[in-house]
Amino acid sequence: MRSNSTLNNMMSLEEMVQILNSLLRCGTALCICCVASLAHAQATITIATVNNGDMIRMQDLSEDFTKDNPDIKLNWVTLKENVLRQRVTTDIATKGGQFDVLTIGIYEAPIWAKRGWLVPLDDLPEDYDVEDILPTIREGLSVDGTLYAAPFYGESSFTMYRTDLFEKAGLVMPEKPTWAFIKDAARKLADKGNEVYGICLRGKPGWGENMAFLTAMANSYGARWFDMDWKPQFDGEAWKATITDYVQLMKEVGPPDASANGYNETLAQFQSGKCAIWIDATSAGQFVTNADSGVADRVGFALAPDKGLGKSANWLWAWALAIPTESDNKDAAKKFVAWATSKHYLELVASKGGWSNVPPGTRTSLYENPEYQKAPYAKITLASILAADPKHPTVEEVPYTGIQFVAIPEFQSIGTAVGQRFAEALAGRITVDEALGNAQWVTEKVVERARFLKRGQAAQ
């Protein structure tokens, strides 16, 4: 039953009155103008998106779209990141049809496209310029060369730090820092008496929250989720070293109650001057240097740390807009997706708030723009994105792709369960060894179940 979609498309009382007046003016026959009015009144698209700064700005600027498309109305459903992932996954898997446009990422796009859940975006307007999308981002959102989700912004991860605190302590941040340097600097810079924490990192559980950071960190430590036989590796020394260092550092010089902090909470802490170092998404660059940031003129940028093993803790991600095949408004939805991810939209944002505030990480032309190159994070963002290699994410060989995630359907449930255990360790409710043991157990069980189901399907 598709009640939500139907209700979203029903006319308001005012619209019904307008159409009835049209009928009276035109006579008893349902003429062409009345049919057109009825059709236009029903063109409502529901957009599910995440509550971060770039997406909220898109809503504020969407009048530009509706002005040129008066027959299309926009209904926004804005959710926290973990909630958004759950809602859109449940809706598309059950063919619920609640949404016409979904905000998804590089993880979901190819998996859902292969299942026939997404509309191919192979007929976007010529001036959209698909070839201008950064190759790594475009490839991550495509299957067999066909784009299934249009990138709104792309990102890797890097190191953000307070230049004033570094200078005061006599420290110099390398362009390519090591974890040893980061840990030492964080301990020297911590000043809890003045509520300045040496380092702030994600702690909130979720496959796209703490596990995005911890998986990337683990890659740089030589860890991996699975070996080539799909055996989980949480019982190895590399994972133990990763989680031990993370928990110890955060307990010593991190903020209190860090297990409740995801991207948005940690961004707010850094903006308010409470963090000396923050390692997170490159898309945060604009927000730590804009007018809302209390430390805007005191932020430096460096690459994500490494441990000398050939892999840094950077990832590859894009929040993108996709259209589910269950949508009743595919044409209208495609118009919106093309608008929101176009060069025109970047120019619109720049006209309102300057080039430094445009959504980053999607288009080659943006990084060739002299005005955008003035942003202090532009060059290092591009370098981080281009250095990310989803096909070779770890030091040792693995049977999967994806850097801060494993590109298999089961990863959402595994990643969330493992993230909960590591958050418990960070909060001090269980030990690191207990968390790793739990992670090994749950991952083994999910893999065994997946293999059992596949064998059963093959036998049918």
Distance, in Å, from the CA atom of 137 to the CA atom of 388, rounded to the nearest integer, reads: 10
Distance, in Å, from the CA atom of 183 to the CA atom of 190, rounded to the nearest integer, reads: 11
CB atoms within 10 A of CB 285: 24
Query: In 3-state terms, what secondary structure has residue 270?
Result: helix
Residue type, 426: L
Determine the distance from the C-alpha atom of residue 403 to the mean position of all C-alpha atoms in its chain, rounded to a whole number. Answer: 13
pLDDT at residue 267, rounded to an integer:
97
Which structure tokens are listed for 224?
């991996």
pLDDT at residue 175, rounded to an integer:
95
pLDDT at residue 457, rounded to an integer:
52
Closest CA to 444 of 419, 414, 403: 414
Residue 43: pLDDT band with limits 50, 70, 90: confident
pLDDT at residue 379, rounded to an integer:
96
pLDDT digits (tens, 9 = 90+) for 111-133: 999 999 999 999 999 899 999 99
The pTM assigned to this predicted structure is 0.86
What's 152's DSSP letter? E
pLDDT at residue 96, rounded to an integer:
92
- Is the model's pLDDT at 343 over the cut of 90? yes
- Is the model's pLDDT at 26 over the cut of 50? no
Average pLDDT, the chain: 90
Determine which of 16-30, 102-116, 251-265, 301-315 has the lowest per-residue pLDDT on average.
Answer: 16-30
pLDDT at residue 391, rounded to an integer:
94
Rg (CA), the chain: 24
Q: Where are the domains of the chain?
A: 3-155+317-362, 158-316+374-452
- Is the model's pLDDT at 274 over the cut of 90? yes
CATH of range 158-316+374-452; options 3.30.910.20, 3.40.50.1000, 3.40.50.620, 3.40.190.10: 3.40.190.10
CATH of range 3-155+317-362; options 3.40.50.720, 3.30.365.10, 3.40.190.10, 3.40.50.1820: 3.40.190.10
- Is the model's pLDDT at 456 over the cut of 90? no
pLDDT at residue 17, rounded to an integer:
40
Residue 31: pLDDT band with limits 50, 70, 90: very low
Distance, in Å, from the CA atom of 391 to the CA atom of 377, rounded to the nearest integer, reads: 26
pLDDT digits (tens, 9 = 90+) for 180-193: 999 999 999 999 88
Q: What is the mean pLDDT of residues 310-318?
A: 96
Residue type, 459: A
Distance, in Å, from the CA atom of 380 to the CA atom of 371, rounded to the nearest integer, reads: 16
Distance, in Å, from the CA atom of 56 to the CA atom of 40, rounded to the nearest integer, reads: 26
What's 306's DSSP letter? B
pLDDT digits (tens, 9 = 90+) for 414-441: 999 999 999 999 999 999 999 999 999 9
Instruction: Work out whether strand 142-143 and strand 146-147 pair parallel, antiparallel, or are unpaired.
Output: antiparallel
pLDDT at residue 41, rounded to an integer:
53
pLDDT digits (tens, 9 = 90+) for 52-79: 889 999 999 999 999 999 999 999 999 9
Q: What is the mean pLDDT of residues 186-201?
A: 95
Is it true that 3-155+317-362 and 158-316+374-452 share their CATH fold?
yes
Q: Which residues pair with 281 in a beta bridge?
A: 157
User: In this structure, are residues 336 and 68 in contact, taking their beta carbons and an 8 Å threshold?
Assistant: no
- Is the model's pLDDT at 455 over the cut of 90? no
Query: In 3-state terms, what secondary structure has residue 255?
Result: coil
- Is the model's pLDDT at 34 over the cut of 60? no
User: In this structure, are residues 424 and 441 in contact, taking their beta carbons and an 8 Å threshold?
Assistant: no
pLDDT exceeding 90 applies to what percent of the chain? 86
Residue 24: pLDDT band with limits 50, 70, 90: very low
User: In this structure, are residues 309 and 221 in contact, taking their beta carbons and an 8 Å threshold?
Assistant: yes
pLDDT at residue 413, rounded to an integer:
92
User: In this structure, are residues 394 and 216 in contact, taking their beta carbons and an 8 Å threshold?
Assistant: no
Burial class of residue 28, CB neighbours in 10 A (0-12, 13-18, 19+)? exposed
Q: What is the mean pLDDT of residues 188-204?
A: 96
Residue 454: pLDDT band with limits 50, 70, 90: low
pLDDT at residue 192, rounded to an integer:
85
Residue 452: pLDDT band with limits 50, 70, 90: low
pLDDT at residue 293, rounded to an integer:
97
